[in-house]
Amino acid sequence: MNHSTAGFKRLTRLDTARDRLLEHVAPVERTESIPLTAADGRVLATPVDAERNVPHYERAAMDGFAVRAADTFGANERSPAVIERGEAGPGTAARVHTGSRVPSGADAVLMVEHTERVGETIEITTPLAEGENVAPVGEDVAAGDHLYDAGHRLGPSDLGLLKSVGIDEIEVYESPTVGVFPTGEELVQRDPDPGEVIETNGLTVSRYVERWGGDARYRDVATDDRDALEAAIERDGDADLVVTAGGSSVGERDLVPDTVEEMGEMVVHGLGIKPGHPVGFGVVADTPILTLPGYPVSCIVTAVKLLRPALKRAGHRPYEPHPSTAATLDRKIRSDVGTRTFARVELRETDDENGAVAVPMRTGGAGVLSSVALADGWVVIPEEREGIPADETVAVEHWEHQP
């Protein structure tokens, strides 16, 4: 559902905008071969089968003695079997340790605590079955076993398994490339004079890109000039996605949407969300251009809700909601019907049965970066509701959670 608002012809619902953006984002099909040491979090481009057995030898599962099971038959407390220590073979026992090779001539491992040493012999009071306490060849993984399908995201335990079966390099999809550039004549990197502002959006967004599986190109500030903006967009025309920060609204100096429209098409401009309604996206020469607002909180909210799912799709990763914590709302949160509101809150633990309490941040403006950086999460108020009353149980979404 769209509705009118001052400055924008229409405001699009967030879910609709996200779906339309994803229609223009294609999963990256480029692949590369990388060492396992660099593959944590990457997505497999091809299926993987085991190249060798694990273990590739019969190994002892316990500390003890390698014996022939037949030499222990009938052993008990009153009539122990007596076996000489030495090389494995009929009537002898060879000392082994957990993980060591079971020598030829032995077919079982006797736990050391089930033996008693008498001179150069050991007395066995517990009979063994053939193969007892022996890990056979391929017990963990057999050569040729199918391990992973294409599209599997690798974790540390996966890397250990792959190395154990003889794989040192792996074929993965390339990470989506994302050009990120902030806009604004007032932006500087350090030591601001009155009227100047430290650039933070480009840094923040580029780090989110890396966290969400992309390869960020964090560019210098582009001035509020159509030629400069056009050049900045063209510079990353080979990227899978371009993200701008700032200049996305409808003021005289908000030139990004018109520049995108002149170069290609501005698909959506203006969302029914707060903060962040000046966000939009377009397409230039088949490259999606996501235009984030300049206010830091608006920039973060829209990056989480639009850029994150776009990168997940481009990177062959599932889009999963952030985890949340149920909490009792400390005081009322106001919002407008027709607008999805993201209210930043702090979480406070209590000793009573109510558990956590969500306390709305008192400085909640879209330009107050501390209100999002110091928050524990946000409460999402849907378009259909006009605020949430105090004492209602809410879900506090942890958008900073590392996926």
Mind listing the pLDDT tens digit for each residue in 279-307? 999 999 999 999 999 999 999 999 999 99
Q: Which CATH class is domain 32-52+145-173?
A: alpha beta
Architecture of domain 3-28+174-314: 3-Layer(aba) Sandwich (3.40)
- Give the count of beta carbons closer than 10 Å to the beta carbon of residue 105: 14
pTM over the 0.75 mark = yes
For position 218, what pLDDT does the model report? 97
Interatomic CA distance for residues 234 and 225, integer angstroms: 14
For position 2, what pLDDT does the model report? 40
For position 122, what pLDDT does the model report? 86
Interatomic CA distance for residues 83 and 246, integer angstroms: 82
For position 114, what pLDDT does the model report? 77
CA torsion 308→313→315→316, rounded to 10°? 140
* Range(s) of the chain covered by CATH 2.40.340.10: 324-397
Architecture of domain 59-135: Beta Complex (2.170)
* Residues whose CB falls within 8 Å of the CB of residue 233, separated by 6 or more in sequence, listed in order: 242, 244, 259, 260, 263, 284, 289
Nearest to 29 by CA among 239, 169, 214, 176: 176
For position 180, what pLDDT does the model report? 97
> Are the CB atoms for 73 and 132 separated by under 8 Å?
no
| Domain 324-397: which CATH number of 2.60.40.10, 3.40.50.970, 3.40.50.150, 2.40.340.10 | 2.40.340.10
For position 1, what pLDDT does the model report? 36
Nearest to 71 by CA among 2, 5, 126: 126
Write out the two tokens for 327: 């909490």
> Are the CB atoms for 397 and 378 separated by under 8 Å?
yes
CA distances from 355 to 329, 347, 352 (A): 11, 10, 6
pLDDT in tens, the chain (403 residues): 344 455 677 899 999 999 999 999 999 999 999 999 999 999 999 999 999 999 999 999 999 899 999 998 888 888 888 888 877 778 888 999 999 999 988 999 988 877 777 778 888 888 999 999 999 999 999 999 999 999 999 999 999 999 999 999 999 999 999 999 999 888 888 888 888 888 999 999 999 999 999 999 999 999 989 999 999 999 999 999 999 999 888 887 889 999 999 999 999 999 999 999 999 999 999 999 999 999 999 999 999 999 999 999 999 999 888 999 999 999 999 999 999 999 999 999 876 666 899 999 876 667 677 778 889 999 999 999 999 999 999 999 999 887 6
* Range(s) of the chain covered by CATH 3.90.105.10: 32-52+145-173
Q: Hey, what amino acid is at 343?
A: A
* Range(s) of the chain covered by CATH 3.40.980.10: 3-28+174-314
* Residues whose CB falls within 8 Å of the CB of residue 23, separated by 6 or more in sequence, listed in order: none
For position 5, what pLDDT does the model report? 54
What phi and psi, each to the nearest 5 degrees, are found at residue 98?
A: -55, 125
- Cis previous bond, 127, omega within 30: no
Q: Where are the beta strands (DSSP E) in 2-107?
A: 3-5, 8-11, 31-35, 48-49, 59-60, 64-67, 81-85, 92-96
